[in-house]
Structure 1
Amino acid sequence: MIGRLPLDEQLDALRAALSRNDVLTEVLARTATLGLPGWYLTAGCLFQTVWNVVTDRPPAHGIKDYDVFYFDDRDLSWEAEDAVIKAGREVFAGLPAEVEIRNEARVHLWYEEKFGVPCPPYGSSEAAIDSFAATTCCLGVRLEGDGRWRVYAPHGLSDVFHLVVRPNPVLAPRAVYEAKAARWRAQWPELTVLDWP
């Protein structure tokens, strides 16, 4: 089982699995050209690609979008973020996928209105990834200048490879976790979804 491999081998297995999703690798390569501070490709496109590879589905099966986080607290205006989003639209033109770019330095400005709970300001993209509703989601990958993959996985990779969805009750409300888990289980019935504490 991949989750029982030494960590360096798990990282190799992660890269091998993600590399089977051509859209994902293209998003990584194109995002690297944008020069965004502290960026990661993150969330569903990563762990769902692994789930697809582990369960012998097409690598991009069920992936709704590709999330790019970056962190720029020098300008918290919507106009600054929108300029990055528009630049991204040009860079990602022609890809058969929706790519969402968000400045995680701005999340606290809109989170409570959308999800009903306040979000303290993040200090980094990693802090934003730490607050996903499930620990399984807490994963980020980016391409460094030398072509090396930087992987951020604060809860490790074992649950990702073992198809375990584990709640992360630090910010998102229970209803968000349960709605996501239900949607994922409908597409990947092999998942083990753990109850909210």
Structure 2
Amino acid sequence: MNRIEIEYRLQNDLELQQLLTIVARLNLPDWWICAGVLRSKIWNVKRHGTSDIDIVYFDSLDISEETEKQYEQCLNTQIDLPWSVKNQARMHTVNDLPPYASAQDAIAQFPETVTAIGVTRRPDFELYLPYGADDFTDRIIRPTPSFQVSGDRHSIFQRRVSEKGWRDDPSLHIQT
């Protein structure tokens, strides 16, 4: 599966289109639906009911966690799902990284290449794949540059691989 096929699959996923419409109503600056929900759709894996729907945005003028919770509540009034809304203008402090320049910059620094993915609709559909489509196509779980073996955060990548049970899935190839 290449980038065009991934984009086609996501653009034609009715549930994802509904989620994009709902999130767009919030008018968040620099917003993206990202991470596992998209990976699951690309791999045609049924999303676990408790899996978060990750929404990231970038607003340096309001970095309060309370605002994020208000956005989650607003989304829940439209459709009851486990929304996770995070302002990437503050998340660098949580992740002990230098400040992010944008939501895309933050997505590129997620732990795994197959988590570093985002889609938005502002106003048109846009797919962001900072590490390309190959790892999605080949079902490879590998760390992004921020979580490489030589870095301080590699243990976070290793923990996530274990917690998500990826080593137990014979269709996945873990590369550390």
TM beyond 0.5: yes
1:181 positional shift:
2.3
| Identity between Structure 1 and Structure 2 (%) | 26
The alignment partner of 2:120 has SS state of: strand
1:1-197 aligned within 5 A: 2-3=1-2, 10-11=3-4, 13-19=5-11, 21-52=13-44, 59-62=45-48, 64-91=51-78, 93-94=79-80, 97-111=81-95, 118-145=96-123, 148-170=124-146, 173-182=153-162, 183-185=164-166, 188-195=169-176
- Residues 88 and 62 of structure 1: CA distance in aligned 2, closer, same or farther (over 3 Å): closer
Deviations 1:50-96 (A, max 9, x none): 112xxxxxx534471210001100122233333323322223x34xx
The letter for the 2-side match of 1:46 is: L
Work out whether residues 42 and 68 of structure 1, in 8 Å CA contact, stay in contact via their aligned partners in 2: yes
1:103 positional shift:
0.8
Tell me the distance in 1 between the aligned counterparts of 2:19 and 2:167: 26
The alignment partner of 2:114 has SS state of: helix
Aligned pair count reads: 170
Tell me the distance in 2 between the aligned counterparts of 1:22 and 1:65: 18
1:41 positional shift:
0.4
The alignment partner of 2:56 has SS state of: strand
Work out whether residues 11 and 125 of structure 2, in 8 Å CA contact, stay in contact via their aligned partners in 1: no
Question: What's the TM-score once normalised by structure 2's chain length?
Answer: 0.83
Question: What's the TM-score once normalised by structure 1's chain length?
Answer: 0.75
Tell me the distance in 2 between the aligned counterparts of 1:69 and 1:157: 21
The letter for the 2-side match of 1:192 is: H
Work out whether residues 69 and 85 of structure 2, in 8 Å CA contact, stay in contact via their aligned partners in 1: no
